[in-house]
Structure 1
Amino acid sequence: MNNFNAIAPIYDQLKSLVFWGRLDDAKRAHLHQIKAGSRVLVLGGGSGQILSYLDDLEMSLAVDFVELSEKMMLIAKGRSFSNIHVNYVLEDVLTLDIEASYDVVIANFIFDLFEIDNLRFLLKKVSNCLSPNGVLLVADFQINKRWHAWFSQLMHGFFHLVASLESRQLKEINSELKMAGFHRTSSSDFYKGFIFSSVFSFNI
């Protein structure tokens, strides 16, 4: 089971040290496409830094924030916001019963946590909860260089130990999204192409 309780107190500092802020750049890259009044679902929101970025948009948003780690959730709840209304949901995204329809689903660095069967199951859940004109915002890792593969193996090994990470290796996430019926409308790369940030619509 993917659970980041053990690393929650130092997670934000660790990712900033290793990735020089590029993970956060990727998370913010396409938030400007969100419209005021949108209903937003954040999957695996971690310490809630994405909530601060959403609040920085200075528009009214209704956000359902889903996170499995109790300690990460406590950090997220400790943040204050001026513009967004947040509903905190402490649950595994795989068992989450999603009944609402969302204008925006945000999935940052979560798809890479799962093995193929669970990844495809989660993508199906996401497609089912998107509104007709809804968008999926994804920031995650991709391999296109030899050092990427080496670094990915090291990263997955570390998080397998400290967070009981389900996944043993990085998946071809963009290919899986395409197979699931998602169409990429815009994309940006960070950290020498090891990180991507993309906007997807769903082909009904």
Structure 2
Amino acid sequence: MPNNYDAAAWFYDGLAQLVFGKALINAQRFLVKHISAGKKILIVGGGTGWILEEIAAVCPSGLQLVYVEISAKMLHLSKQRNCGGNEVKFVHAGIGDYQIEQSFDVILTPFLFDNFAETRVRSVFRQLHLSLKPNGLWLLCDFQVEENFAGIWQKIILQTMYWFFGWLCSVETRKLICMDAFFRAENYRLLSEKTFYRGFVISQIYRSTKFSG
């Protein structure tokens, strides 16, 4: 099964911290602080689930979360997390195979789209876009390669990651797709963004401008 991190579940967080320090954690914390009480939230690709505890620290109760993860081992770890008083529905599925039956106030996609080839990026983006309520927030963080001198070492790290996780976890792509064009095509408004790890990691908060009805 492509893009399944079962084989990396037991060491993934440790490896991420070894390579990136707290950059990946801080990138997601930047997003989580924009979550407010009483919201319905879709999380896609949450990994080991530590982000559920970060969300509970911001909103201890009153949230309804749907947590979609393709890796059974990652999902098992996620279920052990302290989610506070929030209601969490855990879904073992790839997002492309999951039938979304409700709309959400917030969609959170941490390091999701870097796993996909462009065809799957298009289909998953469309699927999630249709499930986001008008005026809803899309919280995105992922890697980026800058068009400057830093892009040289960023490309080297990125290709090393693609080689390793392609071999170990069957990640389907070797090319990072820039997501900005997808959001611009659907007239999303970029509210805020911040970079981490010398520009290699970017967190962005988008607001949907689509009309209800």
Cα distance in 2 for partners of 1:180, 1:167 equals 24
Q: How does 1:112-123 map to 2 (within 5 A)?
A: 112-123=114-125
Moved over 6 A (4+): none
Q: How does 1:7-156 map to 2 (within 5 A)?
A: 7-57=8-58, 58-144=60-146, 145-156=151-162
Cα distance in 2 for partners of 1:62, 1:200 equals 20
- Match of 2:198? 192
Cα distance in 2 for partners of 1:182, 1:129 equals 14
Query: Displacement of 1:180 after TM fit?
Result: 4.4
The 8 Å contact of residues 37 and 60 in structure 1, kept in 2 or not, is answered as: yes
Q: How does 1:172-183 map to 2 (within 5 A)?
A: 172-183=178-189
TM-score normalised by length of structure 2: 0.92
Query: Displacement of 1:37 after TM fit?
Result: 0.6
The 8 Å contact of residues 56 and 84 in structure 2, kept in 1 or not, is answered as: yes
Query: Displacement of 1:170 after TM fit?
Result: 1.4
Query: Displacement of 1:172 after TM fit?
Result: 1.4
* Partner deviation per Cα, 1:7-66 (whole Å, 9 max, x = no partner): 101111110111101001000103222121100000011111111111111342111000
Cα distance in 2 for partners of 1:103, 1:141 equals 24
The alignment's C-alpha RMSD in Å is 1.2
The 8 Å contact of residues 134 and 209 in structure 2, kept in 1 or not, is answered as: no
The alignment partner of 1:166 has SS state of coil
**Alignment coverage as a number of residue pairs:** 204
Q: How does 1:157-172 map to 2 (within 5 A)?
A: 157-172=163-178
- Match of 1:3? 4
**Could you tell which deviates more after superposition, 103-112 or 56-65?**
56-65
The 8 Å contact of residues 54 and 84 in structure 1, kept in 2 or not, is answered as: no
TM-score normalised by length of structure 1: 0.96
The 8 Å contact of residues 67 and 93 in structure 1, kept in 2 or not, is answered as: yes
Query: Any stretches of 5+ residues in structure 1 without a counterpart?
Result: none
Q: Which amino acid aligns with 1:2?
A: N
The alignment partner of 1:41 has SS state of strand
Identical aligned pairs, as a percentage?
A: 32
Query: Displacement of 1:111 after TM fit?
Result: 0.7
Query: Any stretches of 5+ residues in structure 2 without a counterpart?
Result: none
